[in-house]
Amino acid sequence: MTNQQTSEFAIEATDIVKSFGSVQALRGVSITARAGEVTSIIGDNGAGKSTLIKIIAGVDKADSGTVSLFGEEVSFHTPEAAREAGIETVYQTLGLIEDLTIWQNLFLNREVMLGVPPFRFLNKRMMRNEALRMLSELDVHIPSVKARVRGLSGGQRQAVAISRAAGWSSRVVIMDEPTAALGVRETAKVEELIHRLKDKGLAVIVISHNFDQVLRLSEQIWVMRQGSVITGLRAADTNGDELVALITGASSGAAR
């Protein structure tokens, strides 16, 4: 992208407040995420992780607080607007349509067209080639981009979903529990993919319950509890025991 990077942070969310009725889901949350790093958000169920990423991704709107993208304040009313700006989200449910082929899914609502209106037709060859390129860029090998998603394994689907998020000159990729439904081998492959996204210079934000994975993958970790960020720490400076203590509230994180 051509925007000047005026901030060291790809994403900087400041004092985000969000209520659903009388329930305060976020009580003034601030986090940052750097480009070329994996930033993990951890916390117990109901800590507000999903609400936070939904606000960054444009799905929900914050009651107050700001989100900046490379130093520039942004406000998205729809996921498409966030996507336009380069923020892609891979949801737990993956967002793939099983009856469509891999290339159709990669290009859904971003179809490459030929011809002049009203006679505009799909440029299928271009999209297939491009789909192949998107997949191979992340070293995802799938025998044919013409295969339907229904026939793919969980890991393959996740790979397709991540490839879609990583394509499109995106700058930030948000993932909600990217390996929750996967086996050991497939989890390892998806982690490899996340590393490649990072190496491409993208800012990757991951929600995970798996502390080993968080420590393996991330540079920065934000710990949330009951709608607040308890602490932010560098993965290199912490360990699983400390994370568990922080999440459960056995440790307040105030010492840091």
Residues that bind other proteins (CB under 8 A): 78-80, 83, 91, 93, 95-100, 104, 108-109, 111, 113, 120-122, 124, 139-144, 147-148, 150-153, 155-156, 158-159, 183, 185-186, 189-190, 192-193
Residues 6+ apart with CB under 8 A from 218: 37, 38, 39, 40, 206, 235
What is the rounded CA–CA span in Å between residue 83 and residue 89? 8
> Considering the complex, what minimum distance in angstroms separates the CB of residue 137 from other proteins?
13
Burial of residue 105 (CB within 10 Å: 0-12, 13-18, 19+) is: buried
User: 39: closest CA among 208, 169, 223, 206?
Assistant: 206
Tell the smallest beta-carbon distance from residue 74 to other proteins (Å): 18
Q: Return the number of the residue (33 or 159) whose C-beta is nearest other proteins.
A: 159
Q: Which is nearer to other proteins, 6 or 93 (CB)?
A: 93
Comparison of 42 and 82: residue with beta carbon closer to other proteins: 82
Cβ-based nearer residue to other proteins, 146 or 234: 146
Shortest Å distance, C-beta 106 to other proteins: 11
CB of 198 to other proteins, least distance (A): 16
Q: Measured from the CB atom, is 83 or 128 closer to other proteins? A: 83
Q: Show Cβ contacts of residue 189 under 8 Å, excluding neighbours closer than 6 positions.
A: 155, 159
Q: CA 46 → CA 42, 216, 224, distances in Å?
A: 11, 24, 9
Distances (CA, A) of 105 to 72, 78, 101, 161: 31, 20, 6, 9
3-state secondary structure of 230: strand
Q: Which lies closer to other proteins via its Cβ, residue 113 or residue 250?
A: 113
Minimum distance between the CB of residue 121 and other proteins, rounded to whole angstroms?
5
How far apart are CB 72 and other proteins at their closest, in Å? 23
Q: Residue 31 in contact with residue 52, Cβ under 8 Å?
A: yes
Backbone angles phi, psi at 230, to 5 degrees: -75, -45
